[in-house]
Structure 1
Amino acid sequence: MKRWKTLFGAVALSAACVPAWAVPTLSFTSPGSVPPGSFVGVDVVISDVSDLYAYNFSITFDPKVVDVGGVSQQGFLSSAGPTFGTTGEIDNSTGIISFAGYTLVGPQAGASGSGSLLHITFNALANGVSSLNFSDLVFLDSNLNDIAVTANPGSVTISTIDVPEPGSWMLVGIGAVAAAALRRRTGARCAACA
């Protein structure tokens, strides 16, 4: 009887152990702070997705802080086969990349895993922080079923990088060393003259 209880307990525990599936996450890579007048690259990354066949989304940003210099498709979706789509329409006056989307072509399984979907090059215009937000999300599997995706916002920080000035004592020390070297050099010449 004890064996049956042990066996039943093991079967019940095994049945309760259901694999946990991670919810796919859409996010931005986190660039460091850059000064105005420079460029900064940000990737749109999908994580833990299964059978991604097509996607579409829009991205908003602060046009007073950055504008978009360019958008390019990255290799995650195309790793599953040929693709067709658009990097979206850029409107730097309102701060939006509208309807960036790609799909695989033909009947095939979608891409699975994690990787970069798009690369965005921003031009740093002025000091500040530009929030990056997703909207209009559509993600489909190879059967054209919706894939639920969690979208995480991001940001780009533009700030003037302060170059530290040398300390006063350091300048005095450098001056003293230079004066001593000059005196030694002048003293050596005078000794040769005598």
Structure 2
Amino acid sequence: MRQKVFIADDHPLFPKGLKGFLEENNFDVIGEAPNGDLALKFIQEIEPNLAFLDLDMPGMSGLEVAKMCYESEIQTKIILLTFHKKSYIYHKPKSLNISGYVHKAFAVEELLDCIEMVSKKGTYLSTRILSEKTGLKFAEKPLKPTPSEIKIIRFIADGLTTKEIANTLFVAERTIDKHRSNIVKKLDLDKKHN
């Protein structure tokens, strides 16, 4: 069953790109809003599985919407999207039951991993942002492939092409290309193996 997804962002282009990406990956985008007030109303009425909220919107912010959902015991999982790198936000997810925090610049790269983590009742905080704010050297530690990437590695080992893997997983070829690129970086492979 496809997950029902809601997007709230006041920027005219970002939600359009996010909606296309999610629909390509078999998510059902059932609503959009340009501000926090309409976002809260929609989430309260429909309770989608996931809500992607811009941190800074007219009316209520993404954090304020998340707070209201938390206080109303709404089961929708909230994922915040932003261009900002504010350290105070990292203390908010647990207190407001926010499931994910993704920097917009890395959204396409991290979104599927974020959704996968959130679906398993985990919390996803972009390691790229955390490394810049906390001084942690994530890039120097060996990065493990995600469950999605492990699945793709197995398909590659079986000799499947990018197109065949995309058709098998019902995703866009560029999604597989992105995973392949991440696999090469994480496993420190020679580019010719990509």
**Range into which the TM-score falls when normalised by the shorter chain:** under 0.3
- Rg larger in 1 or in 2? 1
Larger relative contact order, structure 1 or 2 (CA cutoff 8 Å, min sep 6): 1
More helix by share: 2
Q: Which structure's residues are more often strand, by fraction?
A: 1
- TM-score, normalised to structure 2, is 0.22
Q: TM-score, normalised by structure 1?
A: 0.22
